[in-house]
């Protein structure tokens, strides 16, 4: 691997299927091992590539990287453990320090404020034997300590953080404390959602992860009508992860649910995971829906839409009302009926 920033060659000795860290030698292109490892033609070809990249591509700039203007590219192999040390070292040096997040009501929250954080990812069945669901929380401010009691959004009671973990690969380690920028893995007792805000004292709400409305729809039906409960539980966990939107089928029956996604391949992911993780075989059938919009908690708006041209009002799995349109024309009719400000493209 040639490091363009350090102008060095990193020569790796292949390890046995990545079982240990690969031995490495560092050399210049025309000196030491670099001068003897490569033939003259190989060195000439590599020199031309380096010159081409240096002239035609942006040089590495830490400020540009942190502002999202440029992206460094690293080469290596996780299978044979080469190139990973370069990536990890540069990642450590380039990664920005934690930044303050903004509360929807009070503005920017200082890093030394009381503990707060937000759920940015959910993952079910990380331990297939226990059907668990893990919530990943990014610490936004203060110090997280094992055993502390925290509030989740506006829920009526606090919960105690008894078993926080840090994760690396398939290893779980009990965590005693964490600081802004750290990631904490928590068992989800059914109270977390992607975007949930956790706080110790003052009520906060981080509006950081909007939930976009789906663009593709399918009806999922359990092949076994007696697995209605497993169907709903499995789809609910996948919905919590953000894999799929799940809605009640308008005028549907118990062993079917309406699925919505941003991309069509997500349906295959859902079908596979339901079969192998939840033991529920489902069939997918197309439905005549074009787009969806979340609705305000206003019965008058819902009643108007129910009478509009080819619209179907239903609920997501959290009980939030949502309207389904079967065409762009129907969407425009809905906008005329209740106004675009009452039709939300995303849910926070």
Give residue 64's domain range.
2-94
* Structure-block tokens of residue 221: 């039906």
Four-residue CA torsion sign, 203, 176, 139, 245: negative
Domain boundary among 94, 125, 153: 94
What is the rounded distance in angstroms from the CA atom of residue 59 to the CA atom of residue 70? Answer: 9
What values do phi and psi take at 97, rounded to 5? -70, 160
* Structure-block tokens of residue 279: 């033991």
Q: Which residues pair with 169 in a beta bridge?
A: none
Give domain status of residue 283, yes or no. Answer: yes
Q: What pLDDT does 270 receive?
A: 93
CA dist list (Å): 95 to 59, 92, 181, 271, 333: 17, 6, 11, 37, 48
* Structure-block tokens of residue 253: 């029956």
Residue written as tokens 């025309």?
30
Do 153 and 90 have their domain in common? Answer: no
SS3 84: helix
Residue written as tokens 């190139």?
83
Do 188 and 222 have their domain in common? Answer: no
pLDDT along the chain (348 residues), means of 10: 80 62 66 66 83 77 81 77 81 86 89 93 76 88 94 85 86 91 89 89 84 88 90 89 87 82 91 92 91 86 78 83 87 86 78
Residue 111 near residue 100, CB atoms below 8 Å: yes
Tally Cβ neighbours within 10 Å of residue 295: 21
Do 148 and 27 have their domain in common? Answer: no
Do 181 and 235 have their domain in common? Answer: no
Do 219 and 325 have their domain in common? Answer: yes
Do 163 and 283 have their domain in common? Answer: no
| pTM for this entry | 0.72
Domain boundary among 94, 125, 142: 94
Q: What is the DSSP string of 97-129?
A: PP--EEETTTEEEPTTSSPEEEEEEEEE-SSTT
- Residue (of 296, 305, 297) closest to 338 by Cα position: 305
Q: What pLDDT does 146 receive?
A: 94
- Residue (of 281, 211, 225) closest to 253 by Cα position: 225
Find the CATH number of the domain harbouring 56: 3.40.50.300
Q: What is the DSSP string of 220-276?
A: EEESSGGGHHHHHHHHHHHHHHTS-EEEPPTT--TTEEEEEESSTHHHHHHHHHHHH
Domains in the chain, number: 3
Residue written as tokens 């969806």?
292
Q: What pLDDT does 126 receive?
A: 74
What is the rounded distance in angstroms from the CA atom of residue 335 to the CA atom of residue 97? Answer: 44
What is the rounded distance in angstroms from the CA atom of residue 294 to the CA atom of residue 315? Answer: 9
Residue 161 near residue 147, CB atoms below 8 Å: yes
DSSP 8-state secondary structure symbol assigned to residue 16: G
Do 253 and 325 have their domain in common? Answer: yes
């Amino acid at each position: 691997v040639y490091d363009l920033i350090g102008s060095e060659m990193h020569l790796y000795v292949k390890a046995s299927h990545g079982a240990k860290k690969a031995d490495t030698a560092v050399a210049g292109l025309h000196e030491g091992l670099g001068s003897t490892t490569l033939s003259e033609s190989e060195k000439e070809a590599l020199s031309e590539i380096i010159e081409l990249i240096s002239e035609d591509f942006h040089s590495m700039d830490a400020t540009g990287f942190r502002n999202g203007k440029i992206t460094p590219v690293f080469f290596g192999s996780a299978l044979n453990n080469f190139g990973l040390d370069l990536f990890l070292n540069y990642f450590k040096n380039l990664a920005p320090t934690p930044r303050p997040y903004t509360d929807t009501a009070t503005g920017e929250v200082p890093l030394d404020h009381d503990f707060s954080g937000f759920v940015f990812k959910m993952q079910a069945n990380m331990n297939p034997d226990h059907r668990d669901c893990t919530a990943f929380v990014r610490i936004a401010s203060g110090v997280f300590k094992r055993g502390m009691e925290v509030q989740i959004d506006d829920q009526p009671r606090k919960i105690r953080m008894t078993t926080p973990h840090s994760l690396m690969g398939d290893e779980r380690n009990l965590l005693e404390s964490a600081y802004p920028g750290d990631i904490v893995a928590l068992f989800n007792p059914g109270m977390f959602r992607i975007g949930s805000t956790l706080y110790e004292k003052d009520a906060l709400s981080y509006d950081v992860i909007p939930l976009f409305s789906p663009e593709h729809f399918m009806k999922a039906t359990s092949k076994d009508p007696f697995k209605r409960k497993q169907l709903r539980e499995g789809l609910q966990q996948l919905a919590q992860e953000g894999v799929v939107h799940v809605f009640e089928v308008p005028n549907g029956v118990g062993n079917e649910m309406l699925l919505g996604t941003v991309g069509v391949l997500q349906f295959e992911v859902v079908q596979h995971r339901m079969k192998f993780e939840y033991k529920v075989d489902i069939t997918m059938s197309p439905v005549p829906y074009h787009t969806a919009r979340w609705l305000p908690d206003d019965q008058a708006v819902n009643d108007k839409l129910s009478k509009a041209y080819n619209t179907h009002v239903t609920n997501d799995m959290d009980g939030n009302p949502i309207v389904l349109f079967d065409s762009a024309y129907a969407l425009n009719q809905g906008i005329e009926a209740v106004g675009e400000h009452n039709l939300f493209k995303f849910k926070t």
